[in-house]
Chain A
Amino acid sequence: MKFVEDPRIREGRKTLALAWLYFFIYLIVIMGSSYFLGIKPYLWGLPRWVAIGNIVVPIVFVIMLIFVVEKFIPDIPLTDDEEESEEKE
């Protein structure tokens, strides 16, 4: 019998790629803004790199995550038997 890969595994691979891409973009932005923005002038009374890089950036990325996850990760059944699918709540 010729091996045919479950299409849900392909979705799993895409989700892995999405997660790592998102995390690396976050890493580049948070490290870039932390190391290059400098301490002064203060913003909201905090060092500039803290206010932007460590408050604004994480909040923006967490909000964006809601949309990215809901849009790009599909709802797929986890059980093999359609009748027993747990997607039906």
Chain B
Amino acid sequence: MNAAIVTFLAYTAILIAIGIWSYRIVEKVPIAKYEKEFYAAGRGLGGIVVALIIAGGLASAGTFIAGPGMTYAYGYSWVLFNNFQIFMNLALLAPIGIIVGIVARRVNAVTYLDIFKARYQSKAIIILLAVLVTIFLIPYMSVQFVGSARVIAQMTDMGFFPSLALGSLVVLVYCVLGGMRGTSLAILIQGIVITVGCILLFIGTVNYAGGFKRSTEILAAQDINFLSPTMGGAFSPAFAFSIACITGLFVVGMPHAMLGALTYKNTRALKRGIWMGGILVLIWTLLLCMAGVIGRSIKPDLAVPDEIAPWLAMHVMPEALGGVVLAGIVAGIQTTVAAMAIIITSSIAKNLLRELKPDISSEKIKSASRWTMGGCLAIAIALALLQPPLIQWIIFFSIGGLQTATFGPILLGMFWKRGNQWGTIASITWGMITYALAKTIVPQIALWGTFESFVPTITSVIVYVVVSLATPNPSDKIIWTFWGPAMRTLKSNY
């Protein structure tokens, strides 16, 4: 057993211990407060944990595996594209964080769909979104397992299936046992491991390559387009702009990113979550992507570009440090899986079940939460056995689908009083149909070379506005709940 494996196993043991410890905490919580504890960690998370939950949730295998993989394949152009995501915490928490924070406390919302339920008061929307969230997040979660299994397999030589088991079962333990409480404790450890791992990988790679100048000269000799911001015209500025919107502005619509907005303690935690998130995502993204492209000057003939980060970890630094880097990459993936598992479980076990069986007891919800989470993770692990070759495109497919369905209803729903359930249903339906067409038989919908979900997302916002204006206003109760004054103001005024 080499030093890298020992380091990784130590990290895994810590996570399992966290899962068991947080299970004890959650089990002591009275049943009446169980949902708030399991899904929102008691709504008491500080800035650094909120920053990590959002950044770690959104930065997935797409950042930690495919990010360096894409820069390895397409040179510095994809460093630019990945840099668009640095302000994802700002793009999520600043636009809706305050209003979600206020409303969540007013209506005791602990899940993503609780906010939709309060805003649109529609059973159809809850069922529709619960189904869509499950459809898009399970494949997303599945490719995270694939990414982590590939990293572990490279490190240990023990094959894909045992690696898949090792990487996924630990998530199963701390998510199912500890819920959001376990996830938030684990993410603190994981955040440190990810950050240290990224810094080590970058330093080790630049050092091994003989510095920036030497690596740039080698890359120029291989293909001068590796040094171009458009990869020699392969990626237009319009495509770059659409990627900037998907990984920046549109993240408001990402359900697993909403976890941060539901769990932060106060506005000080919100502000810290925003700028700390910027620092963390900058370190993770920039260092890993730079390592990917510089790695091409060291090892130009990798058959699978996504394998560059683990390859570098195992070849350009001492074994023990390589183990830290690989643990960091796996940790980055696990944080995403954990956030997704919480969202899917809350959508099905809490919101969908409550819609279908309004009189269900809290005890049954508690039991359903754990069974649903275990079941969803098991399905994702089973799908991972198919071993899809191009995980980046599956990630983009899922992100595009989720944003197309939810960007308008979330953003406008928080700020525009006139928006209603009919606008939401029309917007989701329009978005899903146009996105499906753009991905299949009408690729021309992706105008000017933009990503396939860009035009459907923009047009679904227009549909939301038009249909809302053509249908009745939301009820006064909704308007007072979302935008009405605080009770103390009411008491003093009336």
- A: residues with CB less than 8 A from B are 1, 3-9, 11-13, 15-16, 18-20, 22-23, 26-27, 30-31, 34-35, 39, 42, 44-47, 49-50, 53-55, 58-59, 61-62, 65-66, 69-70, 73-82, 86-87, 89
Contacts and interface: CB of A to CB of B under 8 A. Distances in A.
Contacts of B483: 3, 5-6, 9
Contact of B493 (A4, A30, A47): A4
Contacts of B286: 54-55, 58
Interface of B: 76, 79-80, 83-84, 86-87, 90-91, 94-99, 101-102, 105-106, 211-216, 227-230, 237, 240-241, 244, 248-249, 265-268, 270-271, 274-275, 278-279, 282, 286, 414-415, 479-480, 482-489, 493-494
30 contacts: A5-B485, A6-B489, A7-B485, A12-B102, A15-B97, A19-B91, A19-B94, A20-B95, A23-B249, A31-B80, A31-B244, A34-B80, A34-B229, A35-B230, A45-B212, A46-B212, A46-B216, A47-B76, A49-B229, A50-B76, A61-B278, A65-B274, A69-B275, A76-B267, A77-B486, A78-B102, A78-B267, A80-B105, A80-B106, A80-B487
Contacts of A7: 485
A62 B91 CA distance: 13
B227 A62 contact: no
A53 B80 contact: yes
Contacts of B488: 80-82
Given A6-B102, A12-B102, A89-B268, 8 more contacts: A6-B483, A6-B485, A35-B229, A35-B230, A50-B79, A61-B278, A76-B267, A80-B487
Closest 4 CB pairs of A and B: A45-B213, A45-B212, A19-B94, A12-B98
Contacts of A13: 415
Contacts of B99: 9, 12
A12 B95 CA distance: 7
A10 B414 CA distance: 12
A69 B271 CA distance: 6
Contacts of B102: 6, 8-9, 12, 78, 80
Contacts of B101: 78
Given A45-B213, A46-B216, A89 B266 contact: yes
Contact of B87 (A46, A65, A74): A65
Contact of B244 (A15, A27, A54): A27
B237 to A, nearest CB: 6
B248 A65 contact: no
A75 B415 CA distance: 20
Contacts of A9: 99, 102, 482-483
A77 B268 CA distance: 10
B293 to A, nearest CB: 9
Contacts of A22: 87, 90
B216 A45 contact: yes
